A and B are shown apart, each in its own frame.
Chain A
Amino acid sequence: MSITIALAGNPNCGKTTLFNELTGSKQHVGNWPGVTVDKKDGVYKKNREVTILDLPGIYSLSPYSAEEIVARDYLVKDKPDAVIDIVDGTSIERNLYLSLQIMETGIPMVIALNMMDEVETKGDKIDCQKLSETLGVPVVPVVARSGKGLKDLMDTAIETAQSHKKPEKLNLFDQDLQNAIAGIADVLGGNNEDESQWKAIKLIENDVVVEKAVDPAKLAAIKILVEKANKNARGDAEAKIADTRYQYISQLVKECVKKAHRGHVETKSDKLDKILTSRILALPIFAVVMYIMFACTFSENFLFIEGLPSPGVWLAGIVETMWGMIAEGVVGVIEGLGASEWAVGLVASCLDGIGAVAGFLPLVLVLFLLLSFLEDSGYMARVAFVMDRIFRHFGLSGRSFIPMLMGFGCSVPALMASRTLESDKDRKITMMITPFMSCGAKLPIYAMFAATLFAEGNQTMIVFSVYMLGIIVAVIGALILNKFAFKSDASSFIMELPQYRVPTIKSVLIHAWEKVKGFAVKAGTVIFASTVLIWFLSNFNFSGMCDMEESFLATIGNGIKWIFAPLGWADWRASVGVVTGWIAKENIVATFGQLFGNVSEEVVEAVMAGEEGLPAIGQVFDQVSAYSYMAFNLLCMPCFAAVGAIKREMGSWKWTLRAVGFQMVTAYVVALLINVIGHLIF
């Protein structure tokens, strides 16, 4: 008989570690529908009949965040066979608050009392037997990091699931509240007593989401009962419910936990925090950490040594070279077999498409090894806090800094890094503006225009100003999205700072591997398909294979060039450049090389490096329209790899299209402004 067991618990309670220990590598990561919240499930290593579902970390079952809504919807509507509630033994009082709420749902439940090693190190003692007897729920002590107690935990959980043993009703609330709950549950009716009771409690707690789902005919009667409950609780029944739960917990903890020290003892974590979140040192230390992370992933002059590639760049180079050799070999073999020109071209373009995906994998891997180290160690929560003051002005979270900074290297891993953001809204906004950070592949475009159209002394300034433009547009874009698209009040910041812990190698590796796999599979298809499509458009017309000048793409370029007239470059070659830039932005230079005078590959290389200009583009561009073109390509839809990453992270085509639409409109408006204002001035 197959069983589904859900893992629930506070953020930082060790839930993910437990999940990894239980499922090993047999896990599947996806999205909950409509939100960018991870949905992870896997099969229990020791019993393939058991599916384990990792719910997002939550503090309660109230609808404060997307995570909380997702988790409780699952628990109440989908009803797993059992739920394992993970309680961090080192902060048992706060963690049990969620446990009491999960018990109210009536789902068979087991408490995993985690971090027991740290509890023991502190010298505290927790009486699990008594805890279990008082709560009426099995309590199993575990150490998720080392795997201790997990067999016992799973045996208990499976047994609980199979016997459908519900948690005992605690009846914490006083007579007034109990009457109110029973009364409202009565009005709600329905054949599931647990569910109507749970809903009744939520309705007294002024839960808007539950209220919306109630039959409108019953709402008036319920409102009267809630009002009465409030009157009995001196105006605030909700506060009374919370208070009752906490009072029960503190009594329970008094009976079951023996603390070695009274009051607060300064821990290693506290000492570290004195430095890492200090008034003066916090930002400089963060700057250094960020620099190291960026350098390890993207630097071509690692550790300031000229020409020494960073681990990320080095690996990417190896993958690219190897793939290049394989592709060349395969193409050679097909040619040798006497395949037609278009067949060879198709195979080559498919191989290119796969190569484009493969080339990003090392960057994703290295960045995520580092990121998950920072995340698991607890430092990332401090970053969010320390950077919050600056980013709040733009309506973003402090954590948005990381994806945005990484965006200067490559948008693909940067977009994937947005997963570390706390709220769904922040994640979406950050993903929409991260491609505005000028990535490494866009530099050759600026280099080409600077070397061709601008005076020697101004070239650096021009390139630098494009980078600045990206940052400014990102900030304005974030403000606009916040104000009009998401309408949020972003004035408060509150977040738990977990204890510092040395991450386990296993969890860091699993996390990085998940990211690489997710990118290769989910984003890979988007990248592959679009690369092949553009290859087809740029090499074919109705009479078969042809040069780019006569291809479908040229026809399309001619057809759409009027759109760009207000931007100052109504030329089919410029339009084609925008499209080939979506495969990889640096392609624009090669396309221009081919379309403006068919120059050799060596010249294209030199143009990319900014050592040489491409004089023929002067026929189409003046300085202002060149700047408008650079701005457009900086801001418009990023390369397909990045769009694939957006799709993968957003988890929905609707949001992906919204993001791309936002980028296209922004690019058009900014380029238009540059062209109009520029030509007024110059």
Chain B
Amino acid sequence: MPLSMVEQGDIREITEFRGQEEMKRHLQDLGFIKGEKVRVVGENPSGMILLVKGVKIALNRALANRIMVAD
């Protein structure tokens, strides 16, 4: 399912990214790789805040929709 559906406080494993190569590479650089467990620590109208490799990352819903996580 898309990362955008994950509720605050949940931890999920990234399975896939559906989008442009360029963004995929940037996500990799920030620690979003297949099998990585990310935790949703915050949500607001702009998007969501995640904890990835111990770092807080904010992203908008358009992007969160394209990152797939394990159910």
Contact = CB atoms under 8 A, between A and B. Distances in A.
Interface of A: 59-60, 62, 64, 90-94, 97-98, 205-206, 238-239, 242-243, 246, 264, 269-270, 273-274, 277-279, 282, 381-382, 385-389, 392, 398, 489, 491-499
A264 B41 CA distance: 10
A239 B33 contact: yes
B9 to A, nearest CB: 10
B7 to A, nearest CB: 14
Contacts of A277: 42, 44, 49, 58
Contacts of A264: 39, 41, 51
A389 B12 CA distance: 25
A242 B28 contact: yes
List the 9 closest pairs (A to B, CB-CB), nearest first. Answer: A60-B29, A493-B60, A59-B29, A497-B56, A492-B63, A385-B58, A94-B53, A242-B28, A494-B59
A491 B19 CA distance: 11
25 contacts: A59-B26, A59-B29, A64-B29, A91-B54, A93-B31, A93-B53, A94-B31, A94-B53, A97-B29, A239-B34, A242-B28, A243-B34, A246-B33, A385-B58, A386-B44, A492-B66, A493-B58, A493-B60, A494-B26, A494-B27, A494-B57, A494-B59, A496-B57, A496-B58, A497-B57
Contacts of A381: 58
Contacts of A498: 56
B30 A496 contact: yes
Given A278-B44, A385-B46, A389-B46, A64 B31 contact: no
B44 A279 contact: yes
Contact of A494 (B45, B54, B63): B63
Contacts of B62: 491-493
Interface of B: 19-23, 25-31, 33-36, 39, 41-47, 49, 51-60, 62-63, 66
A282 B46 CA distance: 11
A385 B47 contact: yes
Contacts of A385: 46-47, 49, 58
B58 A392 contact: no
Contact of A496 (B27, B44, B56): B56
Contacts of A279: 43-45
A116 B62 CA distance: 37
Nearest to A246: B33
A91 B54 CA distance: 6
A671 to B, nearest CB: 37
B14 to A, nearest CB: 12
B45 A238 contact: no
Contacts of B47: 385, 388-389, 493
